[in-house]
Structure formats: structure tokens, C-alpha cells
Structure 1
Amino acid sequence: MFKRVIILLVLSSILLALVLVRNHTSAPVNDSISNNQVSSKYTTVEYKITKIKGNQYYGKSEDGTDIIFSSKNILSGEKIQIHEVVICYFDKNNLGNGLVKVEKK
């Protein structure tokens, strides 16, 4: 019986030490954390604006793919001109949702 109590105390102290070590470990603090969170939620593609017709924007990426989006997708409210580069965000978990938002680069 005495051996069981000693073994229980040793195992309990090891468990307590592991819990304390885990709680005192901190994550590094820098800008890459917020960027990783954004990139883990969205797939981003850069497009160069080739044409603007009304509230429709036409763009082309470096790999040759085209995109058309309306001004309602531009969340920043910035005025985008022809030949400027924009970043388009697509939902990584559900690409069927289409374009989520557009930001000027």
C-alpha cells in the first residue's frame, strides 16, 4: 500500500510539472502571426487592373488568368485605377463562394 501511495505522488508531481511547463510556454509575438492567420483563412491572388467599365473592374494575373469584379468587393474604399495591382481574397475552405474581398496593393 505504501508503494502505491509513493508511485501516485511521483506521477502526480510529474503531471503537475508538465502542466506548469505547458502553461508558461509562450508563442513568439510578431507580425507574421497575423499574416499567417490571414493566409490560413484566404487564398490570395494578385491581379493587374486592365480595364474599368462602370463599376466593373477587369484584371489579369501574372499566370494569365482573368478576373472581373464589381466595386462592392473593394472593402477599403480606395479608388483603383488602370495598371494598379490589387490583391483578391478567396475563401480557402470554400472556393465556391467566389471572391470575398479586394484590396489595393
Structure 2
Amino acid sequence: MLKRVIILLVLSSILLALVLVKDHTSAPVSDSISKNQSSSKYTTVEYKITKIKGNKYYGNSEDGTDIIFSSKNILSGDKIQVHDVVICYFEKNNLGSGLVKVEKK
């Protein structure tokens, strides 16, 4: 009787170990989707440049929002003119003051 109890405990512990290992190695589908969506660190908005004054650029988006940024935010080195469309990259959770970079479309 004691041998049966020991064998049962050993087999149960092996089964438990296998279940735990399987849970840690396989990722659910919802986790992989959320990781892909969170991998994008930036929110992008397109603006059409309406005016350039000194090193300040003024632009409007299609939904009517305005933006003003300086030339230090332009990292691509492209020459931006009036009526050009630019893509502004903002920190994902900080659209108000989180402008990271601007590049010409």
C-alpha cells in the first residue's frame, strides 16, 4: 500500500510539473496581439504646412487641429516648404506636449 501511495505522489508531481512547463511556454493569442499593438511607441498625425516663419512651422490636419513646431523637431533633414504634408510622431500617451519628431511625407 505504501508503494502505491509513493508511486501516485511521484506521478502526480510529474504531471503537475509538465502542466506548469506547458503553461509557461505557450502564449495565448490575445497576449501576442496586445504585444504587437503596444510595440508601436508613437502616435502619428499628418499635417499640411500652412506657414513658415523663421524656424517655426505652422500646420493643419484634416480634422482641423493646428500644430506649431520648430525646426529642431525635423530629424530627416528634408527641406519642408509651405503646402508640404508632414508626419508628426507623438509619444503614445502624451499628444499635447510629446512631439518626438517630424518627417516629410
TM-score by length of 1: 0.71
Q: Percent identity?
A: 66
Distance 1:14 1:98, change over 3 A: closer
Give, as a single letter, the amino acid of the residue that structure 2 aligns with 1:4.
Answer: L
Residue 49 (structure 1) aligns with: 49
Residue 10 (structure 1) aligns with: 15
Distance in 1 separating the partners of 2:93 and 2:24: 35
- List gaps (5 residues or longer) in structure 2: none
Residue 71 (structure 1) aligns with: 71
Q: How many residues align?
A: 93
- Residue 57 (structure 1) shift: 0.9
Distance in 1 separating the partners of 2:97 and 2:64: 22
Question: Whose strand fraction is larger, Structure 1's or Structure 2's?
Answer: 2
Give, as a single letter, the amino acid of the residue that structure 2 aligns with 1:55.
Answer: N
Residue 99 (structure 2) aligns with: 99
Q: Rg larger in 1 or in 2?
A: 2
Distance 1:77 1:63, change over 3 A: same
- List gaps (5 residues or longer) in structure 1: 28-32
TM-score by length of 2: 0.71
Residue 37 (structure 1) aligns with: 39
Secondary structure at the counterpart of residue 20 of structure 2: helix
Distance in 1 separating the partners of 2:16 and 2:94: 46
